[in-house]
Chains A and B, each alone.
Chain A
Amino acid sequence: MESILLSFEAILNVKTILILFIGVIAGIIVGSIPGFTITMGVALTLPFSFGMEPVNGIALMMGVQVGGSSGGLITACLLGIPGTPSAMATTFDGYPMVKNGQPGKALAIGLWSSFIGSIISGIILIFTAPILAEWALEFGPWEMFALMLFGISAIASLSEGSMLKGLISGSLGIMFALVGSDPLTAVSRFTFGFTELMAGFNFLPVLIGIFAFSQLMDDIRKPPNQLTLDSTAPISYPIFKTIRDLWKSGVNVVRSSLVGTLVGILPAAGGSIANILSYDIAKKFSKQSHEFGKGNKDGLIAAESANNSSIGGSLVPMLSFGIPGDAVTAMMLGALLIHGIQPGPLLMQNQPVLVYGIFISFFLAAILMLVVQSFGIKAFMKINQIPHHLLVPIVLLLCVLGSYAVNNRIFDVWVLLFFGIIGFWMKANKFPLAPFILGIILGPMIEENLRQAISVSADLSLFLTRPLSAVLIVLSIISMGYGIYNNMKNRKKTGEDSLGQ
């Protein structure tokens, strides 16, 4: 109880609320610009979080994530172009609603659905994360190793594209994480004479390079559609009517939020899957399924409540096991490491103020997102129209400053360029990026647990005879089997061998 009160004290002050507010605005801007992603937004805000208290740094990123997830709604509804991949299904009914002359209604319903989705998943997060963390305290190195292996294999198998490329991406990430001193013997590995690499690659330039830099290069290669929004169009819709509409679709709101949260908890399955899956479920359950795709509010509600609720879900494995559910939470984990905080089951015990602070900032971010977007939608529509050739150089400059700021050395900016090239090569050749980041973050932990397990007992069969470890290893195999099945299905669809795509 004392921790909760201390967390409120840490969050409910002008400075933190202002940081959250800035984060939400930055998130909405990033989320509403097609071609820019939430992951990129979080990567770019990371450098600003160094000088802050850990709870403020995480609050900033939480603001970006929540804001970004709902920011995609603006262009999805008004232009039929999802601002972020997690707003794909939002276009199915949001855009037709706008074309039917109801832009205000579409934005208001989408916004409130995002808000309610966030709140529901936040409540689930509060109740499940501490229970799971307590359970995880009983894990030995065998279980932790198997859990992390499951995290990487699931994200590699389930992420978009080929499973083989997902696994290669994850292995590459682990490989780069091995650069630097060995955690147990302090012997240097793969430094090739660079003293700057003795402590390994710093997370920040790696994250910015892989996600932000490569994304910008991809935008230069394939420029996203330039927006032509009519910022004079009436977009107001009374709040009481919005609440009434949502009340009538109460079951859909709750069901979609639950689906979103559950999908978020699963490794690899983030907002984009939640958004489409929830839309599909809502369509199947609806008595007016034939109206879906023509501007049905239930389709919009399902899509928007699910993508925002997946954020709360993705925080569950991060806070309870120290395993990120997706690329954005992987970055938050990286941020905790930069601040010297070791994520994992002990986090809840050792840093309760920080963990409850994360919960509170999540709710506050949702409230701020609602307020900011309700009043500032016209401004965001205008920001959207800034041409990409003006934005790209500015964001690249931010990438440089962010990387330099870690250690005040140019070497890290070269690291940014190096990983930017790797990220661009991976993107251009359809290697998913999320497993790479998970590999970078989890690599050292996997190694530590594996070697710890072997130093306790050289008997490798313990990984299969300890029940939970065995279950997790079986789950890893199942997820890979599912990946192969999925690839085969796609191959039948496309008529090509997508295993090697």
Chain B
Amino acid sequence: MANAKRDFINAIILLAFSGFAYFGSTQIPIQGLGKTEADFFPTIVISVLAILSICLLIISMYRMTKEKRMEKVAIRKVIKRNKKVVATFGLFAGYVFLLPYIGYFIASVLFLISLYIVLAPTKNKLGLVILGMIGLILLLYVIFQQALSVFLPPGMFF
């Protein structure tokens, strides 16, 4: 069960997002064309989101005073506990960054192998797994490029 402190942080994040969205809504040009302007509906939605976030903030603060045992939210501990998730996000971001430079084939091979190494508890039959992954990458290349006419990023090599 999510504890009150986490919800408190969530409420702060949501309020900050509402503020950011409000700033964005002030940048919308006003045209004076009809009864409602382009910022009409966004203003309503941002207001609703901000009110709901304030509700979450108040409730979480109330719960924080009620909860006797409060779990400490230490970012370092959270990252350590979810290191595989963090590594996957990092690898994924690296993959997307490299995709236009080194192309679909090489980037995908590197991504799949490195992710497998991160996630697999044991590295048995690694050679076989790599071969299988290369086969799959090629198969998907053929399906997308030939059957679905989706031209995958070529990169600097091929």
Q: Please report A residues at the B interface, Cβ cutoff 8 Å.
A: 48, 50-51, 164-165, 167-168, 171-172, 174-175, 178, 182, 184-185, 187-190, 192, 217, 220-221, 387-390, 392-394, 396-398, 400-401, 404-405, 408, 410, 413-414, 417, 420-421, 424, 429-430, 443, 446-447, 450-451, 454-455, 458, 494, 496-497, 499-501
Contact B100 A410 (CB under 8 A): yes
Residues of B within 8 A of A220 (CB): 84-85, 88, 119
Contact A397 B140 (CB under 8 A): yes
CA distance A187 to B140 in the complex (A): 39
Contact of A189 among B36, B38, B49, B66 (CB under 8 A): B38
Residues of B within 8 A of A393 (CB): 111-112, 115-116, 119, 133
Contact of A221 among B2, B55, B82, B96 (CB under 8 A): B82
Residues of B within 8 A of A404 (CB): 150, 152-153
Contact of A389 among B1, B10, B42, B119 (CB under 8 A): B119
B112 CB to nearest chain A CB (Å) = 5
Residues in B1-60 with C-beta less than 8 Å from chain A: 1-2, 4, 6-7, 10, 14, 21, 24-25, 28-29, 31, 33-42, 45-46, 48-49, 52-53, 55-56, 59-60
Residues of B within 8 A of A171 (CB): 45, 48-49, 52
Residues in B99-118 with C-beta less than 8 Å from chain A: 99-100, 108, 111-112, 115-116
3 closest cross-chain pairs (CB), A and B: A500-B59, A182-B38, A389-B119
CA distance A164 to B60 in the complex (A): 12
Residues of A within 8 A of B2 (CB): 429-430, 501
Contact A187 B52 (CB under 8 A): no
Known contacts A168-B56, A190-B24, A496-B63; A455/B45 CB under 8 A: no
Contact B21 A397 (CB under 8 A): no
Residues of B within 8 A of A405 (CB): 144, 148, 150
CA distance A14 to B119 in the complex (A): 40
Known interface pairs A499-B59, A501-B2; 17 further A-B residue pairs with C-beta atoms within 8 A, sorted by A's residue number: A164-B59, A175-B46, A175-B49, A178-B42, A178-B45, A220-B88, A392-B88, A392-B115, A396-B92, A397-B111, A400-B99, A401-B144, A420-B92, A424-B85, A451-B35, A455-B35, A500-B60
B55 to chain A: closest residue by CB: A164
Residues of A within 8 A of B1 (CB): 430, 494, 496, 501
Contact B38 A187 (CB under 8 A): yes
CA distance A48 to B143 in the complex (A): 10
Contact B140 A401 (CB under 8 A): yes
Contact B62 A500 (CB under 8 A): yes
B129 interface residue per 8 A CB criterion: yes
Contact A389 B120 (CB under 8 A): yes
CA distance A302 to B42 in the complex (A): 45
B121 interface residue per 8 A CB criterion: yes
Give the one of A175, A424, A446 with max B CB within 10 A: A175
Interface size class of B (residues with CB under 8 A): 35 or more
Residues in B119-158 with C-beta less than 8 Å from chain A: 119-121, 129, 133, 136-137, 140, 144, 147-153
Residues of A within 8 A of B144 (CB): 401, 405
B64 to chain A: closest residue by CB: A500
B32 to chain A: closest residue by CB: A185
CA distance A394 to B134 in the complex (A): 11
Contact A451 B7 (CB under 8 A): no
Known contacts A175-B45, A397-B111; A221/B66 CB under 8 A: no
B158 CB to nearest chain A CB (Å) = 17
Contact of B4 among A175, A394, A458, A500 (CB under 8 A): A500
Contact of B115 among A178, A396, A455 (CB under 8 A): A396
A403 to chain B: closest residue by CB: B96
A188 CB to nearest chain B CB (Å) = 8
A-B contact list, 8 entries, CB within 8 Å: A164-B59, A175-B49, A221-B85, A397-B137, A405-B144, A408-B150, A500-B7, A500-B62
Contact B35 A410 (CB under 8 A): no
A240 CB to nearest chain B CB (Å) = 42
A198 CB to nearest chain B CB (Å) = 13
Give the one of A174, A192, A397, A408 with max B CB within 10 A: A397
B93 interface residue per 8 A CB criterion: yes
Contact A168 B38 (CB under 8 A): no
CA distance A397 to B95 in the complex (A): 10
A450 to chain B: closest residue by CB: B41
Contact A217 B85 (CB under 8 A): yes
Residues of A within 8 A of B116 (CB): 389-390, 393
CA distance A499 to B55 in the complex (A): 10
Residues of A within 8 A of B63 (CB): 496-497, 500
